[in-house]
Chain A
């Protein structure tokens, strides 16, 4: 990575390695991760548990020491700085609100440690409580608040000292669905209004897609793909990303020939012929990903599509998930809009067709 870029960006991670333990029991949590996060960005680290996303967040916060590599904050190398000397605040997964302090004292904690004047602390705490809509709760203890309210206090406490970077460690995971969806919008709004760089850690791909400017999809201590929500969903770079972000059909196929630049005619093992974006010479085996919503389904047999049998229909509200089997028994998953008067029945015959470009070739 260019040093120039590391100096310009809000956060620069350069070849960071983290190894826990030593000798035979050593576990490598990060295997040389490099990425840079721009100022004012809503950046998400997304991955399954154990992928290293929380470790990376804790390294940026200063709770963990790197085993190798460098960490920059606005061009300044910070590996050696203790957490209290980094202009970075964290919203913890379990909030970690101080139980012996009131809401007001919790929010004021960072400002007090920064030796801000009483009037400034008072003013700032008032502002923060307004932003998170908790005015009137100043004298309560965290134990007297609901989960959603505690979460707002945690957010206000971390934002009060006006950090340059806000780290959020799965902050919504303890909330129920409705509240979670509402908080997503609020978080995004607060990020846009304050202009603070947010680094958000989550294992929830929907959350990541809904809020992020850019997403780093992580697995096994490495960044698998870095891009916008659309990039990682529409153009997954490998099988892990395609499988982890959203549902997908992973299919093996053989390249038949060219169909324009970066497009190949392919035939799957089941005899389904389609055009996929990607490369390769005729005869080469490739892995394809087809999103369930990109396959269309018509009841009955006929037309130019591939015949299949409907195996099972799962009702999802807005959509229905349809599991079908092709002639040789190979399964495919489809997602069809839940329109009224549909004649789909388990056991009945149907025809599927895959639009050109819906299939994507994947690297391993």
Chain B
């Protein structure tokens, strides 16, 4: 089928300039960080030769080890719980009978995307203190699970909406119970959305600083908190090296998430 003709954006005046400005502003800082992570000198502004020394130092830093471990545990648990809850919500919103307050429910689900993070952070802290939960890894996990939900929800719901209900009717027609229909038809067909949502949630959790910092309490340090602490005591290329490694992991996850959802859409 022929698609309608699109505008040629290149013809718009200033298109090239705006594009380049955006690219430079977005990526130049990252590029600088990456370049200086290989600096031999203890400077992040003066180049003194190529070296992997800062990477070795970062990888051998015991403080960073425990922070990374904490971050990964939090991200794994929060992303898993968040994705399961998001899947349930998406099924209810797209497959259940029309809810009474459908749009209100949608807004509520996605509230964490809209509310300023610092407000959520303070709110969560006050809430945990009020009900007397000991601050630590568990409070971080609870807070992360909450904001993971909308990130996992959006790709899952999009996938479910794109999936016509007649596959499920066909399964029911062919003697599948509700559970078998979900297990053999709905779940596999939604899987690209679920994986994509899970990865997004994982990365968002891994990156979070503001909420984490507020509800962490003493002792439970995550990677972004550790990096922030190091910056305050002095900026060395070790931070560049850590940042570059995190960037790499993030980029891998986001690309994989994109590729999986695209492959799912084409099938």
Contact = CB atoms under 8 A, between A and B. Distances in A.
B188 A96 contact: no
A80 to B, nearest CB: 15
A113 B174 contact: yes
Contact of B173 (A61, A94, A97): A61
A110 B176 CA distance: 7
A35 to B, nearest CB: 22
B175 A114 contact: yes
Contacts of A278: none
A62 B173 CA distance: 8
Given A100-B188, A100-B267, A143-B267, A110 B175 contact: yes
Interface stretch (A37-45, A81-89, A268-276): A81-89
A109 interface: yes
Contacts of B185: 98
Contact of A92 (B170, B188, B267): B170
Contact of A98 (B167, B172, B173): B167
Contacts of B174: 84, 89, 109-110, 113, 157-158, 161
Interface in B168-188: 169-177, 180, 184-185, 188
A245 B185 CA distance: 40
Contacts of B180: 113
A84 B173 contact: yes
A114 B177 CA distance: 10
Contacts of B173: 61-63, 83-84, 88-90, 158
A283 interface: no
A89 B171 CA distance: 10
A90 B170 contact: yes
Interface in A313-339: none
* Chain A interface category by residue count: 20 to 34
A94 B164 CA distance: 11
Contacts of A89: 173-174
B267 to A, nearest CB: 6
A69 interface: no
Contact of A63 (B169, B176, B267): B169
B169 A83 contact: yes
A100 B170 contact: no
Nearest to B181: A84
Contacts of B176: 84, 109, 113
A99 interface: yes
B27 interface: no
A96 B189 CA distance: 13
Given A84-B174, A99-B189, 15 more contacts: A61-B173, A63-B169, A63-B172, A83-B173, A94-B164, A94-B166, A96-B166, A96-B167, A96-B169, A98-B171, A98-B189, A99-B267, A110-B174, A113-B176, A143-B267
25 contacts: A63-B169, A63-B172, A83-B169, A83-B172, A84-B172, A84-B174, A84-B176, A84-B177, A88-B173, A89-B173, A89-B174, A92-B169, A94-B166, A96-B169, A98-B170, A98-B189, A100-B188, A100-B189, A100-B267, A109-B171, A109-B184, A110-B175, A113-B180, A157-B174, A158-B173
Interface of B: 164, 166-167, 169-177, 180, 184-185, 188-189, 267
